[in-house]
Amino acid sequence: MNQQRQPDEMPQTQAPDPGRRQFITYLLGFSVVATVVGVATPIAGYLWPPIRSSSDTGGRVPVGTTTEIPVGHGEVVAVDDKPVVVVNTEQGGIKAYSAICTHLGCISKWDPQRQVILCPCHDGRFNPVNGAVISGPPPTPLPAYQVSVEGDTIFVSDSQA
Ligand code: FES
């Protein structure tokens, strides 16, 4: 005896509600976009820091405040499209140097643990008080920029000292 099931007797799988499916699709799409933006934004901020132009400030560029860069801290900022490392040193006050390493041109940064300006490419280290080479392959010190402070605003001159 043939016991074939009739189509109306077949077990039916429930198709998801199209509204719910669409909602989940939107949610997944939003998650992907949020993840991409969340990852890309800090990378873009590192690669292309905000440009501070000196053209409308008489050759001086405001780069932050003493609250934003307290003693023992430093930051790489862009001054007229050039990377400059600004350091608030305990011994020498606020200093600014070209962040372009004198070895092969990598971008140096402030190392808060060692309290030195560090070039990550070949571990070149610079003194934050005078820009001199402490160790590593850089042949010359980092060129210094002129710094002034008015109130709590730090200004860096667009020409090197
Ligand atoms: S490029 Fe900076 S140490 Fe080599």
Average pLDDT, stretch 21-42? 90
- For ligand 1, whether the C-beta of 109 sits within 6 Å is no
Amino acid symbol at 53: S
Q: What is the pLDDT of residue 4?
A: 58
Q: What percent of the chain has pLDDT over 90?
A: 63
What would the mean pLDDT of 62-78 be, rounded to a whole number? 94
Q: For ligand 1, pick from 97, 100, 106 the residue to mutate: most ligand atoms within 8 Å of CB.
A: 106
| CATH number 3.40.50.620 given to 51-160 | no
Ligand 1: centre distance to CA 153 (Å): 31
pLDDT band at 7 (very low <50, low <70, confident <90, very high): low
Q: How confident is the model at residue 109 (pLDDT cuts 50, 70, 90)?
A: very high
Task: Return the pLDDT at 43.
Answer: 80
pTM of the full predicted structure? 0.67
